[in-house]
């Protein structure tokens, strides 16, 4: 598990009160209602801080942000390009 993933899990757990293991195993963070739009804004802000740039609106999709692993893959891809 990467440092980014650990920090992301801690952030979302602190915001939502959901156990990090449950978050990691979740099939969907937003699509299942585990996170609301306010929590998503916090997650996006965290990702932008990590990347040092804004997340383009076109990238704000379930495919990129609906699970912990998808968020981590998005960040990894973004750091490469």
pLDDT tens, position by position, 18-72: 999 999 999 999 999 999 889 999 999 999 999 999 999 999 999 999 999 999 9
pLDDT confidence of residue 44: 97
Query: Residue 1 above 90 pLDDT?
Result: no
pTM: 0.92
* pLDDT given at position 9: 96
Task: Report the alpha-carbon distance of residue 51 to residue 17 in Å, rounded.
Answer: 25
Sorting pLDDT into bands at 50, 70 and 90, what band is 81?
Answer: confident
Domains of the chain: 3-80 (1.10.1200.10)
* Residue 46, both tokens: 């965290």
The CA distance from 17 to 19, in Å, is 7
């Amino acid at each position: 598990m990467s440092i980014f993933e650990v920090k992301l899990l801690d952030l979302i757990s602190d915001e939502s009160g959901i156990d990090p293991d449950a978050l990691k195993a979740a099939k969907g963070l937003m699509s299942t209602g585990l996170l609301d739009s306010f929590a998503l804004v916090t997650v996006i802000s965290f990702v932008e801080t990590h990347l040092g740039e804004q997340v383009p609106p076109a990238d704000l999709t379930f495919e990129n942000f609906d699970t912990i692993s998808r968020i981590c893959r998005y960040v990894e891809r973004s750091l490469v390009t």
